[in-house]
Amino acid sequence: MVKTVEKCRVSLEFELDRDVETLPPGDKRVPYLNTWLAHAHRGGAFATQRGWFAHVVVAADGHSLSHAETRGERLITHCVRTLNLPASTVISRSVIDADTFVAELEVYGSRELADMLNVSRQRLAQLRAEGTLPEPDAVLAATPVWRRTTIDSFTFGWRRRPGPIPNDASPDIDLDLLFSGR
């Protein structure tokens, strides 16, 4: 008998095709992807050395994990195409039922956290020095890491103060239109 689930976390890792070495410096399409997936699908995205990683939470509607994987992959690839991210290949995929996902440790390093908060890494260091940012949950080889639960509780009440947005060299995308689904 196939196990049925209510909600699943579907993750895809993309690697840029060989003719594209890296995303251009200052490219904000992956942060836009993160915002879109977080807002619309309780997911997220972050850049990797050779591409990006994206995940969404989908309702399985009583179907199998493979059905949820197909739905999640369609959502992610639709967002990737809409944001016109460079040619890439899915090099890994996973689907985890919500019960298992709760037990999974999800962490962010300084770079991912700065991107998620839409601040520079220098501003992130200032927030740490001011005591505004929660202490990291661990430090690995001098790299601070925070659990998602730590960051979620911080971002709930924190608002970015007005100031320059870091290095926005991205295409003009109307996020309100993007999120409305029109």
Are 72 and 8 spatial neighbours (Cβ–Cβ below 8 Å)? yes
Q: What is the CATH number of domain 7-103?
A: 3.30.70
Mean pLDDT value of segment 47-54: 87
- pTM, two decimal places: 0.54
Res 171: pLDDT: 52
- Backbone dihedral angles phi then psi of residue 21, each to the nearest 5 degrees: -75, -55
- Model confidence at 88: pLDDT above 50: yes
Q: Choose the most confident range, by mean pLDDT, from 111-120, 147-156, 167-176.
A: 111-120
Contacts of 146 (CB under 8 A, 6+ apart): 107, 108, 113, 134, 136, 137
